[in-house]
């Protein structure tokens, strides 16, 4: 957060001709030390546009990881190039990288992603997004079909394709880069 906070605060302070923290104490950092904590946080963030009433479904919400997982648009090389041109990476020491993947098992003793199936995560987000609370706005309409049906995806094929993303789409992306 410090790497993000400081440049934004400096720029805002220059523009507003003031000093101090940009976000004050509203934003805090908490450790997410269990898979449940990580999934809870991910679903909370992915549902923010729906809860705020600016999107009706996870697949139509702009700038969320759930939409990126459904309709991948992130290209690491393009992101680094664009952010280098904008000079936003100058003071940023952490490596820029795409979203962490989902996996259903640990491979050769290593956990390379979130131990949860993406199909189940989409279902979790969809069902959580349908929960309404008195006095709170924004929820997925109860009359909508489940997310995998809305996306016209076979759950088994979807899970197979997303767990083998690089193998499935890697050659296609290489061909596109060569053609460009």
Write out the E strands in 60-165. 102-103, 114-115
Measured between alpha carbons, how far is 1 from 29 in angstroms, rounded to an integer? 8
Question: CA–CA distance from 100 to each of 40, 116, 130 (Å)?
Answer: 15, 12, 25
Give the chain's domain count.
1
Mean pLDDT of 119-126: 89
69 vs 24, more confident: 69
Residue 3 lies in a domain: no
First to last CA, the chain: 36
Mean pLDDT of 26-52: 83
Mean pLDDT of 36-55: 89
Orientation of helix 35-51 relative to helix 118-129, angle to 10°: 50
pLDDT tops 80 at residue 83: no
Q: What is the pLDDT at residue 173?
A: 47
Residue 6 lies in a domain: no
Residue 103 lies in a domain: yes
Percentage of the residues of the chain whose pLDDT score is greater than 70:
72
Collapse the DSSP code of 55 into the 3-class scheme (helix H, G, I; strand E, B; otherwise coil) and give the result. coil
- pLDDT tens digits for 151-169? 887 767 766 655 554 454 4
Residue 15 lies in a domain: no
Band the pLDDT of 98: cuts 50, 70, 90.
low
Q: What is the pLDDT at residue 55?
A: 93
Task: Provide the phi-psi class of 112: left if phi over 0, else alpha when psi is between -120 and 50, else beta.
Answer: alpha
pLDDT tops 80 at residue 74: no
Residue 14 lies in a domain: no
Mean pLDDT of 12-21: 84
Q: Residue 155's domain spans which residues?
A: 31-179
Residue 70 lies in a domain: yes
Residue 86 lies in a domain: yes
Measured between alpha carbons, how far is 44 from 37 in angstroms, rounded to an integer? 10
95 vs 15, more confident: 15
Residue 90 lies in a domain: yes
Question: CA–CA distance from 169 to each of 23, 62, 66, 163, 175 (Å)?
Answer: 40, 23, 18, 11, 10
146 vs 153, more confident: 146
Q: What is the pLDDT at residue 60?
A: 92
Least confident range from 109-113, 169-173, 174-178: namely: 169-173
């Amino acid at each position: 957060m410090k790497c993000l906070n400081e440049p934004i605060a400096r720029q805002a302070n220059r523009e507003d001709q003031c000093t101090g923290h940009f976000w004050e104490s509203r934003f805090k950092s908490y450790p997410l030390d269990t898979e449940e904590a990580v999934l809870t946080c991910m679903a909370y963030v992915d549902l923010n546009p729906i809860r705020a009433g600016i999107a009706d479904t996870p697949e139509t919400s702009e700038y969320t990881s759930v939409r990126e997982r459904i309709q991948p648009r992130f290209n690491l090389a393009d992101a680094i190039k664009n952010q280098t041109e904008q000079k936003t990476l100058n003071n940023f020491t952490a490596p820029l990288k795409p979203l962490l993947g989902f996996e259903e098992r640990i491979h050769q003793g290593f956990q390379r992603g979130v131990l949860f199936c993406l199909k189940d995560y989409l279902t979790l987000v969809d069902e959580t997004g349908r929960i309404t609370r008195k006095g709170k706005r924004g929820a997925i309409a109860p009359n909508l079909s489940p997310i995998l049906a809305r996306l016209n995806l076979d759950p088994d094929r979807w899970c197979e394709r997303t767990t083998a993303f690089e193998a499935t789409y890697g050659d296609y992306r290489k061909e596109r880069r060569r053609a460009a």
